């Protein structure tokens, strides 16, 4: 016969949720850092074609 599982404690649930949030924060930080390096031209892993505008 099926027996209901025990309830997960609030602290354990909070720990798991915070870990999940931290993973997202780390990914966002990495993406922001990459975007920043691409915009300033200091990126070593991506090559972006720079357009030279001639002033008249």
Q: Which tens digit of pLDDT belongs to each residue from 3-55?
A: 888 888 999 999 999 999 999 999 999 999 888 888 887 777 766 566 666 66
Q: What CA–CA distance (Å, rounded) separates 34 from 2?
A: 51
Q: What CA–CA distance (Å, rounded) separates 11 from 2?
A: 27
pLDDT at 47: 66
Query: Number of folded domains in the chain?
Result: 1
For CA atoms 19, 20, 26, 28, give the dihedral sign. Answer: negative
Decide if 42 is inside a domain. Answer: no
Q: How far is CA 53 from each of CA 2, 39, 50, rounded to the nearest angstrom?
A: 72, 16, 10
Decide if 4 is inside a domain. Answer: no
Decide if 18 is inside a domain. Answer: yes
Q: Which domain holds residue 23?
A: 9-33
Decide if 52 is inside a domain. Answer: no
The CA-based dihedral angle spanning residues 50, 29, 27, 13, taken in that order and rounded to the nearest 10 degrees: -170
Decide if 15 is inside a domain. Answer: yes
């Amino acid at each position: 016969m099926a027996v209901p599982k025990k309830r997960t404690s609030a602290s354990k649930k909070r720990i798991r949720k915070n870990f999940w949030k931290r993973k997202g924060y780390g990914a966002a930080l990495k993406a922001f850092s990459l975007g920043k390096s691409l915009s300033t031209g200091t990126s070593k892993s991506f090559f972006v074609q720079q357009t030279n505008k001639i002033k008249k």
